Amino acid sequence: MRHRYLIVGCGYVGTRLARHLPAGTVLALARDAARARQLAALGLVPVRGDLDAPASLRRLPPVETVFHLAPPPDGGDSDPRTRHLLAGLARPGRRPRRLVYVSTTGVYGNRAGDWLDEHTPIQPQTPRARRRVDAEAQLRAFGRAYDVAVVILRVPGIYGPGRLPLEKLRQGQPVVDYDPPHYGNRIQVDDLVRALLAAARRGRPNRLYIASDGRPATQAEFLDALAAAAGLPPPPHITPAEAAARLSPLTLSFLAESRRLQNRRLREELGVQLRYGDFRRGIEASLSGEMR
């Protein structure tokens, strides 16, 4: 069977995505031999290549659809990994018909709790957000230059089995009560997989979609619900002044951003039926998945 898909960044999300694609059709980029063996054990066909070593990407096999799930490097304001990948895919005979990229809703920056959608201008305020903006621009240019249908999903925090902050609850780490509230956005991993599959099948070329559950909530709301569902003590609540003295600058930078995300285009244009539009149901399903 001809390989139809290439997953770049086949980690937590990518391995779950692969389960929903036809067996024998999925290639996965592997940085080294150890990772290649791990991917092969999952039933995937590993392709050796390192996004930080562009020469290793010169012989990527042709596929119909690429899922680009790999993050940028940790430093700088640009994404050389996406540049290296696109250079490999641009070679004659290697160009896919479609490329689906997972970006971040962090490109919108802090909006003081305002509701946003795909028409909202971006406002990146951190280097990690600017790296994603750079990647998006590279992908759009690649799509136009080579007639590749590039679809970008802007994704907030991802949770699911094995990705719940249970240890933070056990350690008694606090949550911050902001006034007015600071809203965050999330999506359960299996709903994100549904969005990826829909983007690959029905996404319009050079189109953005916010892949969020549409139910913004504060960190306190989410963690209080998680504690109740897991039978753990609720986290202590502290003031912003106390947080400034107790939490790391990186944590504070995440908590400082507040926005609420619409997902109408995801539901109406891509036809994604979210199973976990209520994060409380998503928490229950994720806890059940951890216990299987």
Please enumerate in sequence order all residues whose Cβ is within 8 A of that of 221, keeping only pairs 6 or more positions apart, or say none: none
Between CA 121 and CA 110 the distance in angstroms is 12
**Please, are residues 276 and 285 in contact by the beta-carbon 8 Å criterion?**
yes
Provide the residue type at 158 as one letter.
I
**Please, are residues 108 and 183 in contact by the beta-carbon 8 Å criterion?**
no
Q: What is the pLDDT of residue 1?
A: 45
Of 91, 84, 266, 80, the closest CA to residue 185 belongs to 266
User: What sign does the dihedral 275-278-283-284 (CA atoms) show?
Assistant: negative
Q: What is the pLDDT of residue 84?
A: 98
With both helix axes pointing from N to C terminus, report the angle between 219-230 and 279-291 in degrees, rounded to the nearest 10.
40
Please enumerate in sequence order all residues whose Cβ is within 8 A of that of 233, keeping only pairs 6 or more positions apart, or say none: 169, 172, 227
Burial 134-151 (b: 16+ CB within 10 A, else e): bbbebbbebbeebebbbb
- Collect the ranges in the chain with pLDDT lower than 70: 1-2, 290-292
Summarised one tens digit per residue, pLDDT across range 234-276 is 999 999 999 999 888 888 888 889 999 999 999 999 999 999 9
Q: What is the pLDDT of residue 142?
A: 98
Q: What is the pLDDT of residue 241?
A: 93
State both tokens at 74: 């940790």
Domains and CATH numbers, the chain: 5-167+186-217+260-280 (3.40.50.720)
Q: What is the pLDDT of residue 2?
A: 61
Q: What is the pLDDT of residue 249?
A: 87
User: What sign does the dihedral 238-240-243-249 (CA atoms) show?
Assistant: positive
Q: What is the pLDDT of residue 292?
A: 47
Between CA 136 and CA 36 the distance in angstroms is 28
